[in-house]
Amino acid sequence: MVKVCIERQLLPVADILVDIFTTRMAEIGIREEATNNSANDSATGSANANSKILRNYDLFLCSAEFAEKNGGTSSIVDLARGMKAKKIMVIGHDESDSFFVSHEMNGKLIRLSMPKSAQTTPAAANYSLQMAVTLCLDSDHVAVADPNSRQLMALASRVAVTDVTVFINGPTGTGKEVLAKFIHNQSSRKEKAFVAVNCAAIPENMLEAILFGHEKGAFTGASTANKGIFRAADGGTLLLDEISEMPLSLQAKLLRALQERKVTPLGSQREIDVDVRVIATTNREMLAEISNGKFREDLFYRLNVFPLTTQNLAQRTDDIIPISSILLARHSMVLDDLPSIDDEAAEILLSYNWPGNVRELENVLQRAIVLSTGGKIMAGDIMVDGAIQERIVKSMTTEVALSKSASA
């Protein structure tokens, strides 16, 4: 868990930042500079939680005004060094309404200049602060804000510290694998491998060999032995993605492997012990799959020890801006050139129904990065799939009309 110290003095958005960091599973310390220059440090899960002393912070965050008032960069660096913080973020405002990020000291000091509009418009402020937190954390962290998503992450955090099997059900593109990785990263197995296999993407005749391994010569083309993904994940976590697509003929062998914690490589008679934590995902209604004879009931109940359900993005619109901050940071060519989002563009993102969920959102934001100019994503840069089709049809109609006019 990342430990963050926030200097509250001269930082009006401190409480909002505490809330955002907390939803992203960071441990927060609030520092308030007293009038006698003595520091009062308290670590909180939220601004009003019971306090305790934190040591060895990963990040120290303050306002540009605080840094200027207290001796500038060198003094802030000394302050951060005193609390053993590995990274510093200084947040200010730009009078020209631009969003600017710069990295100094080999990336250990991040300066973020929020647009002037962020002081008055909620959408701009939300995006700017979400991006600030995104830049402070690892790229694989999870960003949520919706109450239902927060509840889901709280459940995921609780099950992560156990070793029980987890079954994640939800529509395509809603972040099931992201949730599985989060559970792995919060578990005692986080230093070991996280191995994912898409059961729908592997030919049926190869799935057993890929899962359980095979000996040399076990089948045509098996010129060398392979230990398989169960053993590759030994000590760690194995994600069986789209488990509902696994052929019935293999489901019995998977059930036995889960129950006995042993695998038998193809072409071998020797059982091999394995220690894996299994997480399975699907986008199907499993009880219907069982009723239709497509999935074994006993395997389902063996996997469905702790069920979690992800929702469509349209059902959790508060997550759209936090997720967008991660996606834009991921796809921007240079982190010092991150775009801002104006209010109209943000409103389009929030009002669209996202039938393709997060995958579609990612596509739309990549297009917006390409189309945007001046470091800001405007409403015209947000092209959802329907708008693209409409624009193509309109363009083709115009070309046909011009062609007819020219030939007349």
Q: Determine, yes or no, domain membership for 142.
A: no
Q: Determine, yes or no, domain membership for 380.
A: yes
Q: Clarify whether residues 288 and 194 are in a common domain.
A: yes
E strand segments, 186-310: 194-198, 237-241, 262-263, 272-273, 277-282, 306-309
Q: Clarify whether residues 154 and 242 are in a common domain.
A: yes
- What is the edge-to-edge ordering of all strands in the sheet holding 109-115? 39-44, 27-33, 3-7, 59-63, 87-94, 109-115, 100-104
Q: Clarify whether residues 192 and 240 are in a common domain.
A: yes
Q: Clarify whether residues 89 and 213 are in a common domain.
A: no
Cα(288)–Cα(283) distance, integer angstroms: 12
E strand segments, 256-383: 262-263, 272-273, 277-282, 306-309, 340-341, 376-377
Q: Clarify whether residues 293 and 157 are in a common domain.
A: yes
pTM above 0.75, yes or no: yes
Cα(380)–Cα(371) distance, integer angstroms: 9
Q: Clarify whether residues 162 and 119 are in a common domain.
A: no
Q: Determine, yes or no, domain membership for 397.
A: no
Cα(350)–Cα(314) distance, integer angstroms: 8
Cα(175)–Cα(2) distance, integer angstroms: 22
For the chain, residues with pLDDT lower than 70 are 33-55, 96-98, 117-121, 123-124, 335, 386-408
E strand segments, 199-348: 237-241, 262-263, 272-273, 277-282, 306-309, 340-341
Q: Determine, yes or no, domain membership for 393.
A: no
> What pLDDT, on the 0 to 100 scale, is given for residue 125?
77
- Please give the tally of structural domains in the chain: 3
Q: Clarify whether residues 84 and 216 are in a common domain.
A: no
Last residue of a domain, one of 276, 309, 342: 309
Which structural domain range is residue 68 located in?
3-136
What average pLDDT does the structure give for the chain? 86
Q: Clarify whether residues 110 and 166 are in a common domain.
A: no
Q: Clarify whether residues 218 and 128 are in a common domain.
A: no
> What pLDDT, on the 0 to 100 scale, is given for residue 37?
44
Q: Clarify whether residues 344 and 301 are in a common domain.
A: no
Q: Clarify whether residues 108 and 205 are in a common domain.
A: no
- Domain with residue 377: its CATH number is 1.10.8.60
Q: Determine, yes or no, domain membership for 396.
A: no
For 182, 231, 237, 385, 392, the CA distances from 244, given in Å and listed in that order, are 22, 22, 19, 29, 37
Q: Determine, yes or no, domain membership for 400.
A: no
Q: Of the candidates 321, 320, 367, 316, which has an alpha carbon nearest to the alpha carbon of residue 124?
A: 321
